[in-house]
Each structure stands twice: as C-alpha cells, then as structure tokens.
Amino acid sequence: MQEVMSRPDARRLRVRPLARGEVDVLQDVFDGLSVRSRYLRYHTAVHRLTPANRAALSAVDGRRRIVLVAERIGPGGWVAEGVGHLVATGSGRAEVAVEVVDAAQGRGVGRTLLRHLVTVAEALDYQLVEAAVLTDNTPMLRLLGRLFPDARTTVEGQTVAVEVRLG
Ligand SMILES: CC(C)(COP(=O)(O)OP(=O)(O)OC[C@H]1O[C@@H](n2cnc3c(N)ncnc32)[C@H](O)[C@@H]1OP(=O)(O)O)[C@@H](O)C(=O)NCCC(=O)NCCS
C-alpha cells in the first residue's frame, strides 16, 4: 500500500497499516496536533493520550479496527504525518476519522488517507462508511464533499453526520 504524491515538489509519501500495539506512531502524530486540531479530531479538549487511550487506539485487528499511517521520507527515515482510523460501528458499517499533524496539513495527506481507508473498507465488504464532523470543521467537510459528492449529510447539533455508500 504505497502512494507517490503527484506534485513535483512533494517528497515521497507512503501509506501502511499500523501494527498492533504500535503506540509510538500514534503518540507522535498526536504530539504534532495543535490544541484546535485535537479538538476537531476528538470533539472535546484532549491534552494528552493516556496509556489506556493509546492501547485502545492501537488495538488493530485487520477487520473491525484498522489504522493507516501516512509517512514521508526524510533525512532520518520515515516520519509519520498522519493517521486514519476505521472502526466497525455495526453491520456493514464503519466509522472513519483522520488526523494530520499541523505542519503537514493542506498538502494532500488527509485526502490520501481517506482514499485508502475507503479502499480498505470496500475490500472488507463494508457497505457504508460514516464520519462525525464538527460543523465548524471546514477542512474536513470540504475534503469529504470533494471526495464523496454523493455522501448523505445530516446535521445533529454541533456535528455533521456524513454517510458514504460503498460499492
Ligand atoms: C481535516 C484534515 C484531516 C485534512 O487533512 P489535510 O491533509 O490537511 O487535507 P488535504 O491537504 O488532503 O486537503 C484536502 C482538502 O481539504 C480541504 N482543506 C484542507 N485544508 C484546508 C483549510 N485549511 N481550509 C479549508 N479547506 C481545507 C480542501 O478541500 C482540500 O482540497 P483542495 O486543496 O483541493 O481544496 C486535517 O486538517 C486535520 O487533521 N485536522 C485536524 C483533525 C480533524 O479535524 N480530523 C477530522 C476528524 S473527523
């Protein structure tokens, strides 16, 4: 699972599945999120990841919980710029969420992760992918709108529920 960015100035980006218990990558990406990005991701103020948070987020099983890591090659090796989560929520349904370190936002990493998450969801025969996005999260809403113009959106208080039918 690998992708080469198309822009001429872009250095190589790859996407790979997180291994079970690989908590350091999750911590690195969390550390690269601003206070606002953390709020947009978790819908509440989250200042640190507890060991329990890290364990839960990294408990991947290849089917009901999958995490993809987007990494860019640098002088010292691969550096994580973002992660995408897929979590089963019901029969044939999975929720996706993406987070990209602030220093790498706006360069296509989020789009790449979302595309890969949907490809994985289709391969696993999920019929519907959903995302819960805060109403003021313009970047995520625009990203979803561009990638999935036929998505169903429902506003529920401060949250937009986005549903994408697959297949
Ligand atoms: C939302 C997020 C994942 C997007 O990732 P990203 O790598 O910055 O986004 P991309 O570079 O792939 O941009 C894709 C599209 O998003 C939109 N976008 C990105 N940054 C934007 C910004 N600052 N303002 C408005 N739209 C923006 C655009 O539509 C862009 O497409 P375009 O350039 O063709 O117009 C990232 O900003 C992030 O991690 N935010 C904090 C956590 C979060 O909100 N997660 C989502 C929880 S559901």
Domain ranges of the chain: 2-165
Provide the percentage of residues in the chain whose pLDDT is more than 70: 93
CATH domain 2-165 topology: Aminopeptidase (3.40.630)
| Per-residue model confidence (pLDDT) at position 71 | 97
Task: Give the chain's largest Cα–Cα span.
Answer: 45
Structure tokens at 153: 């959106």
Taking 50 as the threshold, does the pLDDT of residue 6 lie above it? no
**Once rounded to an integer, what is the mean pLDDT over residues 113-137?**
98
Ligand 1 nearest-atom number relative to CA 101: 39
Structure tokens at 47: 């200042």
| Per-residue model confidence (pLDDT) at position 8 | 37
Half-sphere exposure at residue 51, Cβ-oriented, CA atoms within 13 angstroms: 0
Three-state DSSP class for residue 92: coil
| Per-residue model confidence (pLDDT) at position 105 | 98
Ligand 1 nearest-atom number relative to CA 131: 48
Residue list, ligand 1 pocket, CB within 6 Å: 37, 40-41, 97-100, 105-111, 131, 133, 137-140, 142-143, 146
